[in-house]
């Protein structure tokens, strides 16, 4: 008698689908709770700039300035620079020293000034003054990483993208939505569980939440709205 082996692939597929749906429901509940806790007052600097004027070039430059720089410094530095030049051609004409003075005391301001001038020149000369609207094209610009590219695509052009920075990576892992080692892996994992309607706003929400409640050291678990379901991965001390 020949015994036929029954494939378990359909069962595994159903189980994977059920897990993804369960993760999506948990993510939606967490997003709703975090949104209520953060409110509208703690909006990151780049998001504020994007709300004032949805200009991809301003978003690109302010995001470059924001790397390893406090929000208030980013906001003030961006405003000073944009008073000198607010278009790719205008910024490309500025001396590097003028850009340095405008964005100081942003972190690594000298390197950023050189990169900003190069970015402005390339956008002006190679892209007819229009910032590229794809992540791959943006990554070709000096000083632009995946986080910056995703913010420009999402906030500047309204395209679905998940921007994963240190806050998004840390908080998403800490509360147990994903279990990943790198921001790139976190981005891929989130794309499988987050409904697309949350992709653009996810970075803004978790940056605010990560700065004010789920802080890197000693998070405020006593006032956290997701504390009942949070897995507290890596948390040794909390308030």
- At a CB cut-off of 8 Å and minimum separation 6, what does 181 contact? none
58 is a domain residue: yes
> Domain containing 76 — which CATH number?
1.10.340.30
| pLDDT(117) > 90 | yes
Phi-psi region of 207 (alpha: psi -120 to 50; beta: other; left: phi over 0): alpha
- Going by pLDDT thresholds of 50, 70 and 90, the confidence category of residue 15 is low
CA–CA separation, 77 and 145 (whole Å): 20
Q: What pLDDT does residue 43 have? A: 85
Locus of tokens 């992709």: 199
| pLDDT above 70: percentage of residues in the chain | 91
pLDDT tens string 184-213: 999 999 999 999 999 999 999 999 999 999
How many angstroms from the chain centroid is the CA of residue 92? Answer: 26
Q: How confident is the model at residue 5 (pLDDT cuts 50, 70, 90)?
A: low
Query: pLDDT band at 128, cuts 50/70/90?
Result: very high
152 and 166 fall within a common domain: no
CA atoms within 13 A on the CB side of 41: 4
Q: Which of 120-134, 142-156, 218-232 has the lowest mean pLDDT?
A: 218-232
Give residue 22's pLDDT.
82
CB 78 within 8 A of CB 72: no
pTM (whole model) above 0.85: yes
User: Tell me, what's the pLDDT at 19?
Assistant: 74
User: Is pLDDT above 80 for 7?
Assistant: no
Give me the pLDDT at residue 37, please. Answer: 84
Q: Which of 141, 157, 173 is the last residue of a domain?
A: 157
| Per-residue pLDDT, 232 | 94
* Element (DSSP H or E) covering residue 202: helix 199-212
Do 140 and 169 have their domain in common? Answer: no
Look at residue 3 in the predicted model and tell me its pLDDT. Answer: 60
Residue 17 is assigned to a structural domain of this protein: no
From 99, 126, 157, give the residue that closes a domain. 157
Give the range of the structural domain holding residue 223, as residue numbers without chain letter: 162-239
Domain identity same for 59 and 140: yes
> In this predicted structure, what is the pLDDT of residue 126?
97
Please state the length of the chain: 239
Query: What are the tens digits of pLDDT across the range 55-86?
Result: 999 999 999 999 999 999 999 999 999 999 99
Residues 138 and 178 in one domain: no
- Indicate the average pLDDT of the chain: 92
Average pLDDT of 106-135?
98
């Amino acid at each position: 008698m020949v015994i036929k082996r029954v494939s378990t692939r359909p069962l595994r597929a159903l189980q994977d689908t059920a897990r993804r749906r369960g993760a999506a429901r948990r993510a939606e509940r967490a997003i709703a709770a975090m949104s209520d806790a953060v409110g509208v007052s703690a909006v990151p600097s780049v998001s504020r700039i994007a709300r004032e004027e949805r200009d991809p070039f301003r978003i690109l430059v302010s995001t470059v300035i924001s790397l390893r720089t406090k929000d208030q410094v980013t906001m003030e530095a961006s405003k000073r620079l944009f008073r000198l030049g607010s278009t790719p051609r205008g910024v490309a004409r500025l001396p590097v020293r003028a850009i340095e003075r405008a964005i100081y005391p942003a972190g690594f301001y000298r390197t950023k000034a050189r990169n900003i001038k190069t970015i402005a020149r390339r956008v002006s000369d190679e892209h007819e003054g229009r910032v590229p609207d794809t992540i791959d094209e943006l990554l070709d610009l000096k000083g632009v990483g995946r986080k910056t590219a995703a913010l420009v695509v999402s906030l500047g052009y309204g395209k679905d993208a998940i921007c994963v920075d240190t806050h998004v990576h840390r908080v998403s892992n800490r509360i147990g939505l994903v279990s990943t080692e790198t921001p790139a892996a976190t981005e891929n994992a989130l794309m499988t569980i987050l409904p697309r309607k949350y992709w653009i706003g996810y970075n803004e929400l978790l940056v605010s939440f990560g700065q004010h409640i789920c802080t890197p050291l000693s998070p405020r678990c006593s006032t956290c709205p997701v504390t009942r379901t949070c897995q507290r991965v890596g948390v040794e001390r909390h308030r």
